[in-house]
A = this chain, B = another copy of it.
């Protein structure tokens, strides 16, 4: 379970997409949300868009691994696709904020790798946040405050990427994933392999 968090505008969505394209062993956890789709967003790929009623129902039935309200909209991670992927030995990528990460850690702690993505500068972040032309200024201002709040939680993460160049950051993310898979504790079958090795000597 690989968590990616970052302030909006730090390039997390692009990075996630690139990582998924490059790595067959990891699949995305698609969040459910009550917010309206933005232009270009596809239901089931970017989010699963739900009514507030349906979202509430999922939450009450404890079908969500984590959920949080951001700017009057609810977001959550459906439990069953995650459990399905993990049971098949696949890794799962989560694009969630610090609140979701804390809940995920409480509800499904076992094997969580937490990566935080920082923008190269506040100037660059501001530039990216104001580029989404469809949003009115007060929304942008709110998003800036939310970005600052999100950044304040960076110290709860294992790895920090400063996203100066997306190709470089992708390579860094791939290294993290590759290294974590090489950890002794994650390699199944090692005990038998070593036993066999020693018997052969």
Interface residues of A (CB under 8 A from B): 116, 118-119, 121-123, 125-126, 144-145, 147-148, 151-152, 154-155, 157-162, 172, 174-176, 178-180, 182-184, 187, 190, 193-194, 196-201
* Shortest Cβ distance from A184 into B: residue: B160
A123 — which chain B residues lie within 8 A by C-beta?
A: 200
Report the Cα distance A201→B158, complex, angstroms: 24
Instruction: Judge whether A151 and B182 touch: CB under 8 Å.
Output: no
Which of A184, A196, A198, A199 gathers the greatest number of chain B CB atoms within 10 Å? A184
A187 — which chain B residues lie within 8 A by C-beta?
A: 160
Q: A172-B178, A178-B172 are known contacts. Are A151 and B198 too (CB-CB below 8 A)?
A: yes
Instruction: Judge whether A182 and B161 touch: CB under 8 Å.
Output: yes
Report the Cα distance A152→B197, complex, angstroms: 10
Top 5 nearest A-B pairs (CB, nearest first) are A122-B200, A179-B179, A175-B178, A175-B175, A176-B179
Report the Cα distance A61→B155, complex, angstroms: 42
Report the Cα distance A46→B145, complex, angstroms: 56
